[in-house]
Amino acid sequence: MKGKGRLGSILLMMLAIALVAAGCGGKGGQDNAADAGKSENTKTVSKNNKDIVIAINANFITLDPHNTSDTHSITGARTMYEGLMGFDENMNVVPVLADSYKISDDGLTYTFTLKDNVKFHDGTDFNAEAVKVNLDRIRDEKNNLKLRKSFAKVTNVAASDAKTVVITLSEPYNAFLNKMAMALMVSPKALKEQGDNIGKNPVGTGPFKFKEWVQGDRLVVVKNADYRQKELPKVDSITFKPVPENGSRIAMLKTGEADFIYPMPTEQVSEVEGQKDIVVDKIDSTIVRYVTLNTMKKPFDDVKVRQAINYAINKDAYIKVVKSGLGAKLDSTMSSKTQYYSKQAGYDYDVAKAKKLLAEAGYPDGFSAEIWGENDSETMKGMQFIQQQLALVGIKLEVKSMEGGTLSQQINSAKTPQEAKIQMWYVSWSPSSGDADGATRGLFSSEMFPPAGANTAYYKNANVDKWIADANKAVDPKQAGSIYADIQKQIWEDAPWAFMGVDQVISGKRAYLNGVKVFPDGSISVRDAEVKQ
């Protein structure tokens, strides 16, 4: 665990200095790990082979595509698996394993015609029956997979012939195509043989095949030489390496040990931009940063405490210090790049108001609590910043950093809200399904308490629950937009989160590498990876 002892004290001092600098128009702070790579000059590196290395900031949790919720696991799954639908680089839904589809006028029946001559990596035929096996697995309550709630409105899946799948819904669901894009297809043979171990032995139809996964060290995928498309992958293998420390990740890019890194440490962007051997890519994202507040635990069960926390954190300084100015304040429950976004007002930095609200809630001297987060450099910096800010209003936070799999287990092992130990969690979320439902239901519906979903605030509001259901049924986009505006306003007022920021997606790569890109949801696309001299 990090964040304790002398290093924690140093980090706190540095953040305090950086905060002052930010208020005076400075460039913001940098952590010790980031400084480690600064003295090392970028080396001219040539790439003569077709094996590339991608360094990421956290471990994969699972490669079971039906049970993923973290973006890195989704990235890993998408290298090997495909769905009937998928996403382009702008998060538009496009056919992949489906050749075409039709939606009935009442929005209740979806008919998919499948591509010909597609095989899974183990030689099994991809057909309508394989689709039915996958969707039945997702829908089975006994499996309790994370994707199940997205298919709760499906009443029947029929394989009318080898190329045709007919899916019937109980009511219209305007995000259903997006959910189908998340339902990646697994070999039925592998599912039968592997069972619950499919998350460690993936078998899909995608351009890359599974080679090995050493948790915490590497995931290696290799080119699928039998891939159906005319153009096979242009690289032979891709190795993903979890590297939580910012300084280590940037050093790997500078020396050529890594060909691509994500995220690019924000404090290093200005240093390497313009260098001929390194390319920095930036795009606006759907990734929001927040602190989830357990609304069923004291003192977070009081809305005044939750609102006080929002007023006590200087979001402008957060963007400058933690994100090096590369991002924006979060001003709703979702990013402005997400469907049906509606801007909210309030929670500007106001220490006096925060103290007043805490006193009204019965905590004039503040209180003590834990904040959880992953152990990568930027998350640590964010938690230290929040700790320093809340100390100014008497809230004493103990920072607890964990490896991603451990943190996920801690959160999802609680089967009821009463068992949950989580108090505060500094985390990010992006709707990988690309729709407003993906940015709302899993985070704020009372049906989505862990382990069923990601509502780790254990937030429950009867109106919000009803509006989420109404928005999903809405066929008219204007009606859906109006309902989502009400949802965002209510959640903003209830403050189950400390609303922090919206990321820019920033990646770094060696100049010889083309075709690897980060999508707005933070997932990495490697389909078109190519090494050029």
User: Is residue 48 predicted with pLDDT exceeding 70?
Assistant: yes
The tokens for 339 are 């469907």
Label each residue of 20-55 as H, E or C. Answer: HHHHCCCCCCCCHHHHCCCCCCCCCCCCCCCEEEEE
Distances (CA, A) of 132 to 117, 155, 183, 235: 18, 12, 11, 33
For the residues 111-139, what does the mean pLDDT come to? 97
Is 284-504 in the same CATH topology as 82-190? no
Candidate CATH numbers 3.90.76.10, 3.30.930.10, 3.40.50.300, 3.30.450.70; the one for domain 82-190: 3.90.76.10
Task: Tell me what pLDDT residue 2 has.
Answer: 36
Q: For residue 261, what are the CA distances in angstroms to 238, 254, 530? A: 13, 10, 15
The mean per-residue pLDDT over the stretch 337-360 comes to 96
Q: What percent of the chain has pLDDT over 70?
A: 91
With H, G, I as helix, E, B as strand and everything else as coil, classify residue 414. Answer: coil
- The model's pLDDT over 466-496, given as tens digits with 9 standing for 90+, comes to 999 999 898 888 999 999 999 999 999 999 9
- Residue 11 is predicted with a pLDDT of 40
Burial of 1 (0-12, 13-18, 19+ CB in 10 A): exposed
Q: What local confidence, expressed as pLDDT, does residue 33 receive?
A: 34
* The listed CATH number (3.40.50.720, 2.60.120.560, 3.40.50.300, 3.10.105.10) that belongs to domain 284-504: 3.10.105.10
Predicted confidence (pLDDT) at residue 296 exceeds the cutoff of 60: yes
Question: 189-245: per-residue pLDDT in tens?
Answer: 999 999 989 999 999 999 999 999 999 999 999 999 999 877 899 999 999 999 999
Closest by alpha carbon to 444, among 429, 454, 432?
454
Tens digits of residue pLDDT in 386-422: 999 999 999 999 999 999 889 999 999 998 999 999 9
Quick: pLDDT tens for 148-167: 989 999 999 999 999 999 99
Which pLDDT score, from 0 to 100, does residue 6 have?
34
The whole-angstrom separation of Cα 113 and Cα 384 is 52
pTM, 2 dp: 0.77
Give yes or no for a contact between 497 and 457, defined as CB atoms under 8 angstroms apart: yes
pLDDT greater than 80 at residue 60: yes
Structure tokens at 495: 């403050």
Question: Quick one: pLDDT at residue 41?
Answer: 52
Among 45-54, 151-160, 183-192, the least confident range: 45-54
CA angle 496, 290, 520 (to 5 degrees): 125
Average pLDDT, the chain: 90
- Report the chain's C-alpha Rg in angstroms: 23
The backbone torsions φ and ψ at residue 323, rounded to the nearest 5 degrees and listed phi first, read: -105, 5
Domain boundaries, the chain: 82-190, 284-504
**Per-residue pLDDT at 211:** 98
Q: Which residue has the tokens 């320093």?
A: 388
455-466, pLDDT tens digit by residue?
999 999 999 999
369, amino acid identity: A
